[in-house]
C-alpha cells in the first residue's frame, strides 16, 4: 500500500505540475517527462518495496527504429520501458487515452492508440500509428499476446505483431522478462527482488509470416522461462521475499 500511495501522489504531481506547459510540449519533450516519471517511479519501487531491475542484452538493440516485442507478465513493464529505451512509441488500448490529463500525455508522447472494437480495425489502427512513428525515427513497443499472462499460463500470440512486422519492414527485438515473479497479474502486492529484462537476438525483416511467429514465440518463451527459473532459484524454489 505504501508504494501505491507514493505512485498515485507522484503521478498526480507530475501530471498537474507539467500541465501549464502542456500546450507547448513537443512529443520529444513529453517522452522526456515520461522517462523522468518512470525513473523516479522505479526508484520508489526499489526504496519502498525492495524491487530493483537489471537490463541484459541492451547491446543487441540495433540503431534506428525496431519493433520491440516484449513478454507481458505484470504492470511493471508498463511503468518501465520509456526509462529503458529512448525514442519509443507504445501501442496501447484506446481506453487508456480517455483518462483525463494522463491520457493527454499518452497521446502527446506519440503513443499508438489501438481501437480494439474489432480485430481488423485494431490491426489497421496499429499499423497506421506505427508507420507514422517509424517515419519519425521511433521504435515501437508491442506486447504480442495483447495482455498480461500469469506465470505458467499458456502463451497466446496475436496476429497483430506479424502484421506490424510485415508492414514496417524493420527488425524485431524480442524481450524476455520475469516481472511476474515479483508483481503478479491483477495483484497489488509486490515482492522484493530483481526484475530481469533481457533483449534477445534480433529477428531480421523479410521472414515468412509463419517462420517469424514461430521464431518470435520460441525466443520470448524460452528466454522468459529461463529468467523465471533463475529468479525462483535464488530463493530455493520459493517466491522471493515477502509481499509488500
**Residue pLDDT, tens place only, 172-224:** 999 999 999 999 887 778 999 999 999 999 999 999 999 999 999 999 999 99
Domain-embedded: residue 244: no
Report the percent of the chain where pLDDT is more than 70: 94
Domain-embedded: residue 130: yes
Q: Are strands 172-177 and 112-114 parallel, antiparallel or unpaired?
A: unpaired
Residue closest to 79 by CA, chosen among 11, 19, 129: 11
C-beta atoms surrounding 132 within 10 Å:
13
pLDDT beyond 70 at 241:
no
- Domain with 9, as residue range(s), is 2-233
Say which DSSP state 64 is in: S
pLDDT beyond 50 at 238:
no
* Residue count of the chain: 244
- Strand ranges (DSSP E) for 48-124? 51-56, 67-70, 88-93, 112-114
Alpha helices in the chain (DSSP H): 2-18, 27-48, 81-84, 102-108, 119-135, 160-168, 209-233
Q: How many domains does the chain have?
A: 1
Domain-embedded: residue 83: yes
Domain-embedded: residue 58: yes
Range 76-98 average pLDDT: 88
pLDDT beyond 70 at 119:
no
Domain-embedded: residue 238: no
Measured CA to CA, the distance from residue 217 to residue 69 in angstroms comes to: 10
Q: What DSSP letter does each residue of 165-231 carry, written as one string?
A: HHHH---EEEEEE-GGGTS-TT------EEEEEEE-PPBPTT--HHHHHHHHHHHHHHHHHHHHHHH
Domain-embedded: residue 242: no
pLDDT beyond 60 at 112:
yes
Digit-coded pLDDT (tens) for 2-37: 999 999 999 999 999 999 999 999 999 999 999 999
CATH of the domain at 138: 3.40.1130
Residue closest to 45 by CA, chosen among 192, 232, 196: 192
pLDDT beyond 70 at 116:
no
Contacts of residue 129, defined as CB under 8 A and 6 or more positions apart, other chains included, come to 89, 91, 112, 113, 114
Domain-embedded: residue 241: no
Domain-embedded: residue 63: yes
Identify the pLDDT of residue 226.
Answer: 96
Amino acid at each position: 500500500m505504501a508504494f501505491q500511495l507514493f505512485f498515485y501522489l507522484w503521478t498526480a504531481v507530475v501530471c498537474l505540475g507539467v500541465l501549464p506547459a502542456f500546450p507547448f510540449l513537443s512529443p520529444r519533450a513529453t517522452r522526456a517527462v515520461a522517462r523522468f516519471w518512470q525513473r523516479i517511479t522505479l526508484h520508489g519501487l526499489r526504496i519502498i518495496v525492495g524491487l530493483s531491475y537489471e537490463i541484459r542484452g541492451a547491446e543487441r538493440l540495433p540503431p534506428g527504429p525496431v519493433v520491440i516485442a516484449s513478454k507481458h507478465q505484470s504492470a511493471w513493464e508498463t511503468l518501465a520501458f520509456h526509462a529503458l529505451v529512448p525514442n519509443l512509441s507504445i501501442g496501447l488500448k484506446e481506453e487508456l487515452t480517455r483518462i483525463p490529463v494522463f491520457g493527454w500525455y499518452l497521446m502527446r508522447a506519440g503513443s499508438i492508440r489501438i481501437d480494439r472494437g474489432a480485430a481488423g480495425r485494431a490491426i489497421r489502427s496499429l499499423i497506421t500509428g506505427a508507420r507514422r512513428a517509424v517515419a519519425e525515427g521511433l521504435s515501437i513497443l508491442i506486447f504480442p499476446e495483447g495482455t498480461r499472462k500469469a506465470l505458467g499460463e499458456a502463451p497466446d500470440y496475436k496476429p497483430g505483431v506479424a502484421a506490424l512486422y510485415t508492414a514496417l519492414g524493420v527488425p524485431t527485438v524480442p524481450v524476455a522478462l520475469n516481472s511476474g515473479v515479483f508483481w503478479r497479474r491483477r495483484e497489488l502486492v509486490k515482492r522484493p527482488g530483481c526484475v530481469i529484462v533481457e533483449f534477445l537476438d534480433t529477428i531480421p525483416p523479410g521472414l515468412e509470416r509463419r517462420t517469424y511467429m514461430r521464431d518470435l514465440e520460441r525466443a520470448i518463451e524460452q528466454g522468459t522461462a529461463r529468467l523465471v527459473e533463475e529468479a525462483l532459484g535464488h530463493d530455493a524454489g520459493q517466491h522471493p521475499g515477502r509481499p509488500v
